[in-house]
Amino acid sequence: MLDVGTGDGRRIAYLRQGAVAGGPGVLWLCGFKSEMTSTKASALAHWARLRGIPCLRFDYSGHGRSGGRLEDGTISRWLEEARAVFCRLSRGPQILVGSSMGGFIALLLLRALIAEAPKQAERIRGLVLIAPAWDMSELIWNDLPAYARRRIDEAGVYQRPSRYGDGPYPITRALIDDGRRHLIGDKPFDPGRPVHILHGLKDEDVPFAHTARLVGLLPGERIHVRAVTDGGHRLSRPSDLALLLETIDGLIDGGCQGRS
């Protein structure tokens, strides 16, 4: 467990394997209401173990084995937790691997470290993002029907039905309002290292067009997008996992310079 935050401190659960030093290692960032033991995270950890690569994963507060309530979560809190895990638990060069909201958090973490802690930012050698839900607050808000928006305004929370049989997703006014403090669309930046994006063309949660807009916001020539023709949002089928691991493998073997 890792203690994060002051005043509103949280106990964050993590799993770390492999050598603490050396690298490059991989840091997994989960999606909203996902866990560090999910199908993709577990596949990544197994692959890393076979390759002898350090692997670090954690649960945000309100998720999995970590303390706190999901309803209290905000992008600011989860970004603070991701930063603490990266800075306090990882060593040497790292590749950030983020799924959905985790892709958003990965981008925000890189942007924050470039601006505030460049030495730490230098350790991030590349990003691999799966259907990144960047500017998640706006993505969610724009997709909600009018009655759901009214519910958030009046009651502070709307229980959004899930397509995956894992219960409703609490969408709170705090999550929406706080998320608007972290918009990439309002403050684009140059990642300065390879960013590989995998996205299913049949994704109903984060449309592929959302990734296309992101490419237009991130300057530089090392942004690579791989469209999965028959893929949905989670991209957790065996073929999807193989593509994910192949992408990370190529990034490592290519010296983190990226491949077209």
pTM of the model: 0.94
With residue 178 as reference, give the H or E element that holds it. Answer: helix 173-179
The two tokens of residue 175 are 């999550």
| Average pLDDT for 38-57 | 94
CB 71 within 8 A of CB 173: no
- Residue 212 has phi, psi (to 5 degrees) of -60, -40
| Average pLDDT for 7-29 | 84
The DSSP symbol for 36 reads T
How confident is the model at residue 229, as a pLDDT? 95
Q: Measured between alpha carbons, how far is residue 121 from residues 50, 87, 95, 112, 175 in Å?
A: 27, 10, 11, 8, 26
pLDDT tens-digit profile of 136-161? 999 999 999 999 999 999 999 999 99
Distance CA 125, CA 103 (A): 15
| Portion of the chain with pLDDT greater than 90, in percent | 87
- Bond prior to 238 in cis (omega within 30° of 0): no
Mean pLDDT of the chain: 92
- Whether domain 2-135+188-253 has CATH 3.40.50.2300: the reply is no
| Domain extents in the chain | 2-135+188-253
Q: How confident is the model at residue 219 (pLDDT cuts 50, 70, 90)?
A: confident
How confident is the model at residue 7, as a pLDDT? 75
